[in-house]
Amino acid sequence: MARTKRGTTTHARHRKIIKMASGYRGRSNNTFRAAIQRVEKGLQYAYRDRRARKRNFRALWIQRINAAAREHGMTYSQFMNGMHKAGIEVDRKVLADIAVREPESFKALVDQAQSAIAAAS
């Protein structure tokens, strides 16, 4: 039985890691031992930050809605409470986009939220 040589498998595995590490600085982009550490850490960051990105965007949308609502004399929580009482179900992503791109439409939403709060009290 012929002996098995594993050079091609090892070379392919190393080449895959080195390819993933292209663009890194220093030895991390061309030395396998350094590259594998950087690639593994990079994959950990990517996994973690795919979830963090969702939190960051939600926070950004809330900040934009709050700023636009305050221009019309309401806080974010008052505005969202009014939207809920008015029965308007628009998500924060769309509200933030409306606040930035269409201030007149956002003003109409603020007016509806204010009237819903006044009617409830």
Phi-psi region of 26 (alpha: psi -120 to 50; beta: other; left: phi over 0): left
Q: How many domains does the chain have?
A: 1
Instruction: Name the residue type at position 20.
Output: M
Q: Find the domain containing 31 and state its range.
A: 10-120
CATH of the domain at 100: 1.10.1900.20
Cβ–Cβ < 8 Å for 18, 29:
yes
pLDDT of residue 54 exceeding 80: yes
pLDDT of residue 4 exceeding 90: no
Helix, strand, coil percentages for the chain (3-state, nearest 5): 80, 0, 20
DSSP 3: P
pLDDT of residue 121 exceeding 80: no
Q: Per-residue pLDDT tens for 8-50?
A: 999 999 999 999 999 999 999 999 999 999 999 999 999 999 9
- Residue 4 belongs to a domain: no
Write down the pTM of the prediction: 0.82
Q: Per-residue pLDDT tens for 66-102?
A: 999 999 999 999 999 999 999 999 999 999 999 999 9
